[in-house]
Amino acid sequence: MESAAGEEGKAAPSLPLATLIGRELRGGGSERPLVRYGHFGFAKRGEDYFLVKPDCLRVPGDPSSAFSVFAVFDGHNGVSAAVFSKEHLLEHVMSAVPQGIGRDDWLQALPRALVAGFVKTDIDFQRKGEASGTTATLVVVDGFTVTVASVGDSRCILDTQGGVISLLTVDHRLEENVEERERVTASGGEVSRLNLCGGQEVGPLRCWPGGLCLSRSIGDTDVGEFIVPIPHVKQVKLSNAGGRLIIASDGIWDALSSEAAAQACRGLPAELAAKLVVKVAADPLDQRLFANTGFIFLRQRHFDPGEQQERAEDVQQPFELGNQPATGEDHDRTQDNRTQHAIDQHTALQ
């Protein structure tokens, strides 16, 4: 299991995430970070959608149960899947969380509820009979615990005190993700480049049928069961020093490294930082960079700026659901089979 943050020189030993959350709760850790956020998007095709809900309540009427949700959806082949996911994904996640549980149990249940919510959203969208698809990166902030679930290539990075940058998502691009290529081919799918007349291969690696460059998404019912909606899920506990979360669709990350994006927004107000990263990523000489770009910026800081700050490296230890294989014996390319693969995968994680 990888550490969520590094440290120059000798790294301090990490503590299990459950231990850190339990320590916070036993110590009366009800204090909340100050959350600042901003988002900015500029896309020619208008297929990026944002979800910003900073004042959610786990228990209606109880301010101590507050949490925040931020998400980006980068649609392709139309906007239907992105719009549908924006409207229903959070609802499906929350419906998968057991009722009447405390905060400790809620945080432990959240990663698997996110998996169930992504699968449910995909199943419901399949029933619409539309071919659109979308990436989805959903971030839940509860106190200093951050939980991220993602399919596709919309990335989320964490920038903590001292310039330590951590990637909280996994890019599900077939061109770059060897594990995902192996998963698709082991399930009976084909991974290859577009083949022109004369046998010339061009462009990135794609999954056939359908020719999608991504191995995981919501929607895309026309590409077979090898493209699954099972998200990569990662949960980390920050120190009281907090951190900055940058969430963006692929247009940003095609133009900027994680380090460059983090550097561009340091020391700036959230809304201005969001706009500046998009501006830095957009080359006016290459209009392709304007398509499918978006940005959400989140900053956490403890209410008491005078309190001694712990090093973030000392208290970050992730819970992680990685690239789990979607397996099955029947490889018929149908909506029902793809749905069953997703359900089987979710069951395997429990």
Name the residue with tokens 């690696």: 205
Among the listed residues 267, 345, 338, 278, the one whose alpha carbon sits nearest the alpha carbon of residue 301: 267
Q: Where residue 95 falls among pLDDT bands split at 50, 70, 90?
A: very high
Other beta carbons less than 10 A from residue 256's beta carbon: 20
In DSSP notation, 174-218 reads TTT-HHHHHHHHHTT-EEEEEE-TTS-EEEEEEEETTTBSBSB-E
Question: How far is residue 262 CA from its own chain's centroid?
Answer: 17
Instruction: Tell me the domain boundaries of the chain.
Output: 17-170+230-332
Q: Does 311 score more than 50 pLDDT? A: no
Q: Does 310 score more than 50 pLDDT? A: no
Among the listed residues 251, 267, 179, 256, the one whose alpha carbon sits nearest the alpha carbon of residue 215: 179
Amino acid at position 236, single letter? V
Residue 62 has what pLDDT?
Answer: 93
Q: Does 16 score more than 80 pLDDT? A: no
Residue 182 has what pLDDT?
Answer: 96
Q: In DSSP terms, which residues pair with 131 in a beta bridge? A: none
Rounded Cα gap, residues 43 and 136, in angstroms: 17
Q: Does 257 score more than 90 pLDDT? A: yes
| 158-179 residue pLDDT tens | 998 788 999 999 999 999 999 9
Amino acid at position 108, single letter? Q
Q: Among 40-54, 115-129, 202-216, 331-345, where is mean pLDDT lowest?
A: 331-345
The SS3 call for residue 74 is strand
Helix, strand and coil content of the chain, in percent to the nearest 5, comes to: 30, 30, 40
Fold held by 17-170+230-332: Phosphatase 2c; domain 1 (3.60.40)
Top-confidence residue, 45 or 117 = 117
Other beta carbons less than 10 A from residue 209's beta carbon: 13
What's the half-sphere exposure (Cβ side, CA atoms, 13 Å) at 119? 24
In DSSP notation, 77-117 reads SSSHHHHHHHHHHHHHHHHTSPTT--HHHHHHHHHHHHHHH
Residue 319 has what pLDDT?
Answer: 56
Q: What percent of the chain has pLDDT over 70?
A: 70
| 202-215 residue pLDDT tens | 889 999 988 999 99
> Six-digit token pair at 192?
């290859």
Span 2-8, average pLDDT:
36
Residue 284 has what pLDDT?
Answer: 53
Q: Does 6 score more than 60 pLDDT? A: no
Query: Torsion angle, CA of 87/89/91/97, rounded to 10 degrees?
Result: -170
Q: Where residue 251 falls among pLDDT bands split at 50, 70, 90?
A: confident
Top-confidence residue, 337 or 274 = 274
Q: Does 186 score more than 70 pLDDT? A: yes
> Six-digit token pair at 209?
């049928």
Residue 1 has what pLDDT?
Answer: 33
Rounded Cα gap, residues 301 and 309, in angstroms: 10
Residue 334 has what pLDDT?
Answer: 38
Looking at every residue in the chain, the average pLDDT score rounds to 77
Q: Where residue 295 falls among pLDDT bands split at 50, 70, 90?
A: very low
Q: Does 301 score more than 50 pLDDT? A: no
| 41-71 residue pLDDT tens | 765 556 789 999 999 999 999 999 999 999 9
Q: Does 92 score more than 60 pLDDT? A: yes
Span 224-241, average pLDDT:
91
